[in-house]
Amino acid sequence: MMPRQAREISESGYYHVIMRGNNKEYIFEDRLSKQIFMNQLLKICDEKLLDLLAWCIMDNHVHLVVKTSPEDLGIAFKRINIKYAIWYNKTYDKIGHVFQDRFISEAIESDEYLMMVIRYIHNNPLKANIVDSCEKYEWSSYTLFTGKFIPEPMKIVMEMFQNDLKAFKDFHKMEDDKEYLEIKEDKQKFREAKIQKTIEEFCIKYNISKLENKVMTPEMKTEIIESLIGCGLSIRTISDILGAPYSSIQKQFKKVIELNEGGQKEPSILI
């Protein structure tokens, strides 16, 4: 058995955390289960194990932004896992694990990234096509940020926006193609949607029906190759999409990599 990878420690104390249903199961599929989980989470906050800055409860997983120590991080989510599992199995007459493995987390080390992660998790229901605006999703912290009463730990976030509610709302409407901590299947789905959107926008811009090597100018080829590299596609995949020689894509790929500070590894093939 391979040893577990050591959890990343945040120097700032801020973490983005995901808890997911075992075997991809829906474990928050009704109002009661979401409310029970939220109540248990708030109780952990009352016990001073962590501060809760943002959250979004989906049907089969939950995103959280918390501030805590590395020690209390593990204690807090172990308690939540056990307590929720006991309630869930008893209520729905089930047995076994409720959450898949241990929770996953990433360290948040800057105010800028903290703001971006919070925007990302608030926009999860939009990406999943559940609602068409953050305001319409009941089970996220967005409505608290935009309401009359903001819990004390969350005020630090609004201070980053100079307590300007319009700035907070406008920030959430900004496009963001950055990849964040996510469950594998959703990350793949979001990547594929990003690739499709990139191709569609390019075709509209140049009034072409599809990507065909023979109808594109050298400038157009350079632009779409750079865009597809930005989507995380490999040389081989871009070559297949455009019907262009591998060697020509490779030359453009190297130019893009050289422009990036410090360089980067070749992205893996996604489609």
Q: What pLDDT shows up at residue 245?
A: 78
DSSP string, 64-99: EEEE--HHHHHHHHHHHHHHHHHHHHHHTT--S-SB
CA distances from 211 to 124, 205, 270 (A): 30, 12, 18
Across the 271 residues of the chain, what is the mean pLDDT of every consecutive 10-residue run? 67 93 85 96 95 95 95 93 93 86 87 94 90 94 93 95 96 81 58 74 82 75 79 76 77 68 42 37
Query: Which structural domains are found in the chain, ordered by start?
Result: 14-172 (3.30.70.1290), 184-259 (no CATH)
Per-residue confidence (pLDDT) for residue 90, from 0 to 100? 93
Q: pLDDT value at position 208?
A: 82
Q: pLDDT at position 82, please? A: 92
List of long-range contacts for 25-28, beta carbons under 8 Å, 24+ apart: 25/60, 26/59, 26/60, 27/59, 27/60, 27/88, 27/98, 27/99, 28/57, 28/58, 28/59, 28/60, 28/62, 28/139
DSSP 165-233: HHHHHHHHTS------S--HHHHHHHHHHHHHHHHHHHHHHHT-SS--GGG--HHHHHHHHHHHHHTT-
Q: How far apart are CA 155 and CA 142, in angstroms?
A: 13
User: What pLDDT score does 268 carry?
Assistant: 41
The reported pTM is 0.69
Residue 56: φ, ψ to 5°: -155, 115
pLDDT at residue 257, as a whole number? 63
